[in-house]
Structure 1
Amino acid sequence: MVTKAEQAVQDADVKRYAGERENDIARADGERKAAEKYTEGRDLANQVLGQSQAFMTIRKIADTSALLKLSFVKENKLYREIKTADGQQFTWAMYCDALNVSYKTVDEGILNLTVLGPDALEAMQSMGIASRDLRKLRKLPEEDRQIIIESQAIDVGDKEAVQELLEDMVVRHAKERESAAQREETYKQSMEALNALSETKNRRMDELAIENEKLRGGIKQGDINPFIQEVESEKGQIIIPLMRLKARACALEAKFTQGDKVDRAEYFALQAALDSIRDELAQAMDAAYNAGAPFQASIANAS
C-alpha cells in the first residue's frame, strides 16, 4: 500500500517530467521556427542574388521591383545568411559585388525608392530622367518635390517639362539660400557694429568716470581743449556705425511698408538695437554733462 508521502513524491516526479517534456517541445519548436526563418531568409537572399547574376544589369537593378527586393534584403540583413566558400559571412558590400554593381549604386537606388516612391521613380526612370536629376529632386523640400511628382508632366511622360520644372525650383531655392545667407551676414555685421558701439560707450563712460574724479580736484580753463578734440575725434567712430544701422533699418522698413517679403526678426532686432543705443547714448551724455559740473565750478572759482 502506497503511503501519502510516497504518493506525493510520485506526483511530483510526474509533474516534473511533464514540465521537462513541455520545455523540450517548446525548445524544439523554437529551433524549428528559427531554422525555417533562416532558410526562408537565405533562400530569398539567394533567389535575389541568383536572379541578379543571371539577367540583371545595372539598369535592371535600378528597376523598382528589383529595388524593392534588395531593400528588403538589406533592411532585414538577409545577405548575412549567405556564406563564402571558406565559410565567411557575406557583408552588404560583398552581396552587391556579387550582383556586379557597387553598394553605393544600390544604396542610391533604394534611397530614390524611399524618398520618391515606387510609382514616381518608375515613371521618371521610364522617361529617362538621369541620376543627377533624381539627386536634385531628393534634395528639394517635400512640398516642392510633391509638386513635381504630382505634375501633369510626369503623367504624360514629358521629360523636358519635368527637367525644366526641376531646374526652376533648384534655381529658386538656390536664390533663397543666397538671400538667407546675405540676411544672416547683414545681421551679423549689424550685431558686430552694435557690440562695437556698446564697447566704445562703456569704455568712454569708464574714462569719463576717471576724468570726473580728476576734475573734482580743480582744473584750469585751458585744459578743456584736449577734451574737446578727443570728443570730436571719437564722434565719427560712434556716428558712422550708428548711421549704417539706421540705414539698414530704414531699408527694411521701406520694404516692409510696401508689402515686400522681409525678415521681420531682423527688422525688429535692428529697431530694438537702435532704441537701446539711443538710450545708452543719452545715459552717456548725461554722465558727460554731470562730469563737467566740477569743471564748471572750478572755472567759476578761478574767475
Structure 2
Amino acid sequence: MSDLSVTDLIDLKVQQQEELASKQNTLLQLGQIQAFNFMGKLVTVTELKLAQQIKETKSYKGLTLQDDNGKVVTVTTWEQCCKHILQTDCQNLDNRLRNLQQFGEEFFEAAQKMKLGYRDLRALRQLPEDEQALVIESEAVETGDKDAVKELIDELKAKHKKEKDKLATELDATERMLKASRNTASEKEDKIVQLTADLESKKFSADKWKGEAKSFFEALAKTQNQIREGFNQLLVLSEQLETVQIDDKTYDAAKSAFYADSKILLTQLAGVWNEIHRTYGDLDDARPSGEWLAEMGFEGTEVIE
C-alpha cells in the first residue's frame, strides 16, 4: 500500500465504493425478484426483466451466501445464481426469458394469463416468423381464448411440418437425381475409359494398319526375301563350284574368292545384327511378322507377296 500515491488511494476507494454500491443494487434487485417469485412463480414481465438485467451484467458474480448445509458459497455462474439465490430451475427461467425476448411483453403477458404451456410456446418459437405473427396478432390472443390459440398453433405447426416434409421429399428426390446423374456420368466416364482401352488394344486392326504400317511390313518382307534369296544363291554357287568342271587354277581362284567375299558379306551382316541387337535387344521374346500380321487381320501372302 505504501507504493500507492494519494490519487491512487482515492481512485481505489472510489472503485471499492462503486463495487459495493453495485452489489447492494444487485442484492436489492434479487430481493425484489425473490419477493415476486414468492407470489407469482417468476411469471411477471417486471420480474423477468430484472432477472435478464442481472444475467446480462453478470452482477451476481462474487455474491456470497450460505447453502442449505450452512456452507458459505461464492456465486460465480448464472446457474449458481438461479439455484442458490433465485431458487428456481435455470433452464425454465432461460426459456421464459427467451419467450419474452422473442414474443414481446404484450404477448408474453397474454400467454401467462391464458396459461399457455411451455410446449405450446416452444412450438410457436419453432414456426417461421411470419406464422408466429399470425398467432401473436390473432383475435384469439386479444380475446384470451386459450383453446383457439392452441388450435391455431397446432394448425400452423402441422402446415409447417407438411411443408417441411414436402421440401425434404423434394430435396431427397433432387439428391437422388443428382446421385443418379453422377452415377450416369461416372458410368459414361467408365465407358469412355473402357472404349479408349478397347481402341488401344485394337490399334493393330486391319483398318488402322492399312497404309504406312502395311508398307513397312511389305518392305520388311521384301528385304528379308532378298536376303534369303542371296543366301540361297550363295549355296547354289557353292554347289556349282564343287561340281563344275574347271581347271585347278580357276577352281582355286573361284574358291578363294567365294570364301573371302562370303566372309566379308557375313561379317557385314553380323555388324548389322549387332546394331539391331543393340537397339532392340530387349525384345528377344518378340513375336515374328507372321503372328503380328495375323493379329492385324492380314493374310500373310497379302503382305509378303
The two structures share one fold, judged by TM-score above 0.5: yes
1:58-98 alpha-carbon deviations (Å, 9 max, x no partner): xx312222222222222222333531234421243333334
Which of 25, 33, 44 aligns to 1:48? It is: 33
Aligned to 1:104: 91
Q: CA deviation at 1:180?
A: 1.2
Q: CA deviation at 1:106?
A: 1.1
Q: 1:97 to 1:30 in 2, by over 3 A?
A: closer
Matches of 1:210 and 1:181, distance apart in 2 = 42
Matches of 2:12 and 2:72, distance apart in 1 = 27
Matches of 1:43 and 1:96, distance apart in 2 = 16
Which of 37, 40, 43 aligns to 1:62? It is: 43
Aligned to 1:274: none
TM-score using structure 2 length: 0.59
Query: What is the identity, as a one-letter code, of the residue corresponding to 1:77?
Result: K
Matches of 2:26 and 2:193, distance apart in 1 = 78
Query: What is the identity, as a one-letter code, of the residue corresponding to 1:189?
Result: R
Which of 23, 38, 46 aligns to 1:38? It is: 23
Aligned to 1:168: 155
Are residue 116 (structure 1) and residue 103 (structure 2) matched?
A: yes
Q: CA deviation at 1:115?
A: 1.0
Q: Which residues of 2 match residues 274-293 of structure 1 at below 5 A?
A: none
TM-score using structure 1 length: 0.59
Query: What is the identity, as a one-letter code, of the residue corresponding to 2:172?
Result: E
Q: 1:159 to 1:48 in 2, by over 3 A?
A: closer
Q: CA deviation at 1:157?
A: 1.2
Q: CA deviation at 1:184?
A: 1.3
Structure with more relative contact order (C-alpha pairs < 8 Å, separation 6 or more): 1
Q: CA deviation at 1:153?
A: 1.4
Aligned to 1:181: 168
Query: Is 1:45–1:78's contact at 8 Å kept on the other side of the alignment?
Result: no
User: Which of the two has greater helix per residue?
Assistant: 1
- Match of 1:84, SS state, is strand
- Match of 1:88, SS state, is strand
- Match of 2:65, SS state, is coil
Matches of 1:121 and 1:114, distance apart in 2 = 9
Query: What is the identity, as a one-letter code, of the residue corresponding to 2:39?
Result: M
Aligned to 1:156: 143
Structure 1 residues not aligned, in runs of 5+: 1-19, 221-296
Task: Give the CA RMSD over aligned residues.
Answer: 3.0
Structure 2 residues not aligned, in runs of 5+: 208-295
Query: Is 1:123–1:154's contact at 8 Å kept on the other side of the alignment?
Result: yes
Q: 1:219 to 1:196 in 2, by over 3 A?
A: farther
Are residue 147 (structure 1) and residue 130 (structure 2) matched?
A: no
Q: 1:97 to 1:23 in 2, by over 3 A?
A: closer
